[in-house]
Structure formats: C-alpha cells, structure tokens
C-alpha cells in the first residue's frame, strides 16, 4: 500500500495552480484562479482553483476535488496511478500493488495478451495478416508504431503465460481477452487483426478486432466487451497518439481505424476515430478536452452522409468549432490516399464546410416542402448548441441560406438552456442542519475540534454525512491545521463534489456563529431524541417513563442557552 504520509506529502507539495494550469489556461481572480472547465463545455469561465484550499470547483457542472482527483478525472487514472504520476513530478518514487489498485490485474492481463498478439503478427503464423496489411497500403513501420497484433486461435500460450505471472482465467475473462461458452474457454477476437485501444493517457484498456483476407464473418469489427476499463462510448481510437497535436492543429475525425493509420502514415497526426460504431456524445466530450475544433471526414455514400449528420449533432452539443468534408462517393481516407497524394487530401480538407452550408448543400432543398424540412433539421442541430453567440450566428446562416425571415426562424428555435451557474446554487445551498454544520466546519480546524468535544457522532443521522464527520474528527485529532484538499481524498466522488462546492463559499463564519449553530443543533437533536422516547413510552403505556421524559424536556428548554455558554 502507498503509505498515508506519502500521499499527504505528494498532495501538499504539488502546486495545484501549476498542475491544473499545465492543462488549461487559468487567470487570477482575487485569491483564486479561474478558467474554462475541462470537464464540460462552457464559454464563460466558472472553473475555480484555490491555492489556499488546495481544491478546485466548477460552478457550472459541479465537479470538484484536489490535485489527485483532478489527475484521476482528466487522465482517466486510478488513485494510486495519479499519486504515482504526481510523485514523479516531485521526484518521489512510488510503487503500488494490486491491493492499492483493483484494476492493476486487468491491466496486466491486457498487456500480457497484447504482447502475445504482437508476437503472433510478426511470426510465421502472421505472414498472411502481414501481407494483407501491406496490400492495404500500410508500411510495417506504421503497423509497428500503432502496435497492431493478431489473436492466435489457440489459448494455450496465453494460459501458460498467465499462470507464470499468477493471473487467473477469471482475470483474463474480466479483462475481455478470454471468452467462454458451455464451460469452454476460447480467445476472444480469435483470428482477427487487433488494434489496441488506449485511454488518452496511453493506458491499454481493450482491443478492436478486424477480419482480414477471405474471412466470411459479417462483423467486420468487433470490440472488447464492456469491462471495468473499456467503455466504448467514451473511447476514441488513436487519441493517445494524436493528443500532442490536437490543441495546435485541431482534430480530424474519420470513421475507421485503418483510416487513422493511413492518414498518420501520410503525416496527418491529429486523427482519431470512433470504434467502428456511431460517434457518441461521450466521445465528443472527451475530444473537447484536448481541442477546440474538429473536421469531420466521412465517406461520400449514403451511410457516410447520415453518419456525418449524426456526428455533427454530437460535436455541436460539445460546443466545438466544426467543419465537415464528404469525400468523393466510393472513397474513404484510406482508399483516397491509395491513389492520391497527401497534398491532394490537404486540398480536400481546405474545402471542408461550416455546419449550415454543409447541411444546405447536403439536403439541396429546391421545393417549399424541402426547404421546410431543411429548416427543421437545421434548427434541431442549432438547438443542441448551448453557446448563445454561436446559436445566433448559425441561425443567421440558416436564414440566409433558406431565404426565410430570420425572425420567423428564430421564433421556432427553443430557448437556450438555463445557465449552469443556477444548478451550482442547488449544490452549494445551505441545505439541512447537518450540512450547515459541516459547511462551517471545513472552514477552520478549530470548529472541528469544538464539535468533537461537544457533538457525539451518534447524534448525526447514519450515512455519508456521519462518515464525513467521523473523518473530520480524525483529521483534526492528527493535525493542527488542514486544507479542504486534504479531506477530499477520504470521501466518495459525490461527497468530494459537494464538499468542494461548500469550500468555495464566500461566507466566513466566526467562532461565535459556529458555537451558536452547534448549540442549536445539539438542542434540536437532544429534543428530537427525547420526543421519540416520549412517544414510545406513551404507546407502551409506561406513564412513569413518560413523566420522567417530560421533566427532561422542560429542563432542556430551560437550559438551551446554557449549551451555547458551555461551548
């Protein structure tokens, strides 16, 4: 296990502004720093980073945490991986085991399988697959660079290697490299050429397998089944390689893995693709973390046109700048580059169109009915844009292209969604009595010590808030002072979000205000307990017990101010 003192040292020595500022642009605002949130699309900065609290919070989407949770969420890392990466930045060497990270055995299984797949492709067993890849115009250097492999049809090598490394068959199944039917194990994706699928951080999480040669299987591509690591709707092929180029060059989104390889081979390094299925909103959101713009490059056939229109909606919803290019009918990037130069492909990219002109040319409305239908399609896509200025510009373009009065078209547009900041108010509102006390306590360690001396855990209702209070008591007992960032590691993701929001409250409480709030809470909770006991006594007919409780209630009412004075 990673010792707690090492975790605390890594967190304390990491400059949260420096770390987050290396991913997004931040500017000072009072004691904090603000920037555009990397976890949702916005045009007005609502993402706040506090060096004093060692925490961040977005008033738009409600996400929050410390340096460790930021790295976990941004890079898709586990807790120990994030601590290790932060440690490396500080020159602190950290090692962790499967006990620290339950995903480590799955990652080990995937890496083990991948090595076997790569070896198989470059062995005599893989000569046919090699020739097939060469026939597709792929150079060996490209195939090696993207680490393609071939899944053997025999499981014996995988199973023997797994035994050597103490990986069980269950782990191999959980990782998605083994399947089973009627109790018989078989290699998942057997006989297919596989493309390793990685998170943006480069971590291998699954495979996409492609048929080749004269394989009659109608399923051209098959992906690893959903696992703890592999979430198809949030993964993009080639993103880990394209990532360094995206901020500067924007992204090229194509339909297939071989398109990515062929374009990269020709010098286009900013290319990504969905995993053989329709482009999703989750993929658009992931892509928006690394670039502000994307060019959609789709085949010119009917399927490609429909796919481009669907993908356009997802990209617009992510508020990305977007252009679209339909290749000549019958062509995809792979086939086009087989008979044309990269300069000619560049020339095509220069012809990519903005969304409204693209849709107008795609739909070619020549009748009143067709223009009405085109207007409905354009409006449905504009409705997915949350940025008000971008909506207005698209609306202007649509009205001009369709020759419809702009006011008439605007009246049909749904109102923009209400501001995200209103949602944040609900997250950080005063809430129930327990929440109010906790919000006050995270401001000062002194308040936590006062509570620990006067408020038994048993008076807090069972659940996450009582667990949080217990952890606060523990931190205060160990340390004289602490920041919000130190507490967050101890909490569930939901409580991290809420506590981060509480910590960015502009209200500062005095010791007197906290003592009065604590006294009022103690009075109310003790009174609630006595009232419940009184009800039970009356129901059971215990008159003597009921009289005793009434006396205690009267005394409690008389001494309510004394509780405050004692604190």
Indicate yes or no: pTM above 0.85.
no
Per-residue pLDDT reduced to its tens digit, 500-547: 888 887 778 888 888 888 888 888 888 888 888 888 888 888 888 888
Which domains does the chain possess?
Answer: 4-90 (3.90.580.10), 104-350 (3.90.980.10), 355-412 (1.20.50), 425-566 (1.10.860)
In Å, what is the CA distance from 429 to each residue of 56, 313, 422, 423?
A: 18, 34, 11, 10
Per-residue pLDDT reduced to its tens digit, 271-291: 999 998 889 998 998 898 888
Q: Which range, 37-46, 254-263, 328-337, has the best average confidence (pLDDT)?
A: 254-263
DSSP notation for 91-106 = T------TTT-TTHHH
Tokens 């009412």 label which residue?
A: 557
Average of per-residue pLDDT across 216-238 = 90
- Half-sphere exposure (Cβ direction) of 228: Cα atoms closer than 13 Å: 15
Report the alpha-carbon distance of residue 3 to residue 101 in Å, rounded: 14
In Å, what is the CA distance from 194 to each residue of 110, 190, 218, 240, 275?
A: 12, 10, 16, 17, 12
Residue pair 49/101 in contact by the 8 Å Cβ criterion: no
Which tokens is 76 given?
């898709």
pLDDT at position 341 over 80: yes
Residue pair 85/71 in contact by the 8 Å Cβ criterion: yes
Per-residue pLDDT band for 137 (boundaries 50, 70, 90) equals very high
Per-residue pLDDT band for 114 (boundaries 50, 70, 90) equals very high
Give the other-Cβ count within 10 Å of 257's Cβ: 24
Closest C-alpha to 488, from 50, 122, 119, 118: 50
pLDDT at position 425 over 50: no
Report the alpha-carbon distance of residue 400 to residue 377 in Å, rounded: 15
């Amino acid at each position: 296990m990673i010792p707690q003192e090492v975790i605390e040292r890594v967190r304390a020595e990491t400059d949260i502004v420096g770390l987050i500022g290396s991913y997004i642009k931040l500017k000072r605002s009072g004691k904090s720093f603000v920037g555009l949130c990397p976890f949702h699309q916005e045009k007005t900065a609502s993402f706040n980073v506090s060096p004093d609290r060692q925490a961040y919070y977005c008033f738009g989407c409600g996400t929050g945490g410390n340096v460790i949770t930021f790295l976990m969420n941004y890079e898709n890392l586990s807790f120990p991986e994030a601590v290790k990466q932060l440690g490396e930045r500080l020159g602190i060497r950290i090692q962790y085991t499967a006990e620290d990270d339950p995903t480590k055995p799955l990652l080990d299984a995937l890496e083990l399988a991948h090595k076997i797949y790569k070896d198989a492709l470059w062995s005599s067993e893989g000569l046919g697959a090699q020739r097939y890849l060469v026939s597709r115009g792929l150079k060996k250097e490209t195939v090696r660079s993207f680490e393609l492999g071939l899944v053997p049809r025999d499981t014996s090598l995988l199973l023997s290697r797994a035994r050597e490394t103490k990986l069980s068959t269950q782990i191999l199944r959980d990782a998605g490299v083994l399947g089973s039917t009627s109790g018989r194990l078989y290699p998942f994706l057997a006989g297919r050429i596989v493309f390793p699928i990685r998170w943006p951080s480069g971590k291998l999480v699954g495979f996409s397998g492609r048929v080749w040669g004269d394989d009659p299987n109608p399923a051209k591509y098959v992906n690893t089944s959903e696992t703890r690591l592999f979430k198809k709707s949030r993964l993009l092929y080639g993103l880990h390689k394209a990532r360094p180029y995206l901020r500067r060059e924007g992204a090229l989104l194509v339909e297939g893995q071989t398109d990515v390889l062929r374009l990269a081979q020709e010098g286009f390094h900013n290319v990504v693709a969905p995993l053989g299925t329709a482009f999703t909103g989750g993929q658009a959101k992931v892509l928006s973390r690394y670039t502000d713009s994307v060019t959609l490059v789709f085949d010119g056939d009917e399927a490609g046109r429909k796919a481009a229109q669907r993908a356009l909606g997802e990209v617009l919803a992510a508020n990305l700048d977007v252009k679209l290019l339909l290749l000549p009918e019958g062509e995809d990037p792979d086939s086009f580059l087989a008979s044309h130069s990269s300069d000619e492909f560049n020339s095509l990219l220069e012809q990519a169109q903005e969304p409204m002109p693209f849709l107008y040319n795609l739909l070619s409305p020549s009748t009143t009915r067709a223009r009405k239908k085109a207007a409905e399609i354009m409006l449905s896509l504009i409705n997915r844009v949350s940025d008000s200025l971008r909506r207005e510009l698209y609306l202007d373009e649509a009205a001009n292209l369709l020759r419809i009065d702009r006011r008439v078209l605007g009246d049909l547009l749904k109102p923009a969604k209400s501001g995200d900041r209103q949602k944040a108010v609900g997250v950080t509102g005063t809430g129930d009595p327990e929440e109010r006390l906790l919000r006050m306590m995270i401001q000062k360690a002194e308040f936590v010590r006062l509570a620990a001396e006067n408020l038994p855990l048993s008076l807090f209702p069972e659940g996450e808030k009582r667990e949080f209070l217990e952890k606060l008591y523990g931190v205060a007992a160990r340390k004289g002072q602490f920041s919000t960032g130190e507490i967050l590691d101890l909490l569930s993701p939901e409580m991290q979000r809420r506590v981060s929001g509480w910590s960015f409250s502009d209200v500062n409480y005095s010791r007197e205000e906290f003592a009065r709030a604590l006294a009022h809470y103690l009075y109310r909770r003790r009174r609630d307990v006595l009232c419940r006991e009184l009800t039970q006594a009356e129901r059971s007919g215990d008159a003597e017990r009921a009289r005793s409780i009434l006396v205690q209630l009267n005394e409690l009412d008389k001494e309510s101010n004394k509780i405050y004075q004692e604190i």
